[in-house]
Homo-oligomer: A and B are copies of this chain.
């Protein structure tokens, strides 16, 4: 009887260990601090923004260009589009990848992507700049790492990893 209970306990303990291990070693949240990545991709969500700014294509374009310059990027090309009845979509291609925006002025919401390569640009600077520029009272920042380089200088065949989220 004691033997059966002991072995059941062992099975349960093993199960807990495996569950805990799979949670902490999750592909999604775990970023290998020693690894190199080709790109860092920030998904920024801006809530409660000024709808007049989000619905002004020229203003949005100008702010996205300023955000790129503020974070140290080199602008290569840009294209912006004003939707009817409202909303702006636009992209700034930079030497270090791209910045993209889609706005929903009627909801005070903008979804922004800041994709950069190398160490030259700091996407956090662009994020803070846009948060202020849009008068956003609440925002979220998720930094993903894409294109992990393995020891043999090949790209690891794994999806993105989340480096930080706040």
Nearest-Cβ distance from residue A61 to partner chain B, whole angstroms: 12
CB contact list, A74-133 vs B, under 8 A:
76-81, 83, 89-91, 93, 95, 97-98, 100, 102, 104, 107-109, 111, 113, 115, 117
With beta carbons under 8 angstroms apart, the residue of B39, B81, B104 that contacts A93 is B81
Q: Is the pair A162, B93 in contact by a Cβ cutoff of 8 Å?
A: no
Interface of A is mostly: strand
Q: How many copies does the complex hold?
A: 2
Q: How far is the CA of A144 from the CA of B162 in the complex (A)?
A: 13
Q: Which residue of B lies closest to A101 (CB)?
A: B98
User: Closest chain B residue to A154 by CB distance?
Assistant: B107
Residues of A near any B CB (own CB < 8 A): 1-2, 5, 8-9, 12-13, 15-16, 19-20, 22-23, 28-29, 38-39, 41, 43, 45, 47-48, 76-81, 83, 89-91, 93, 95, 97-98, 100, 102, 104, 107-109, 111, 113, 115, 117, 138, 140-142, 144, 146-147, 154-155, 157-160, 162, 165
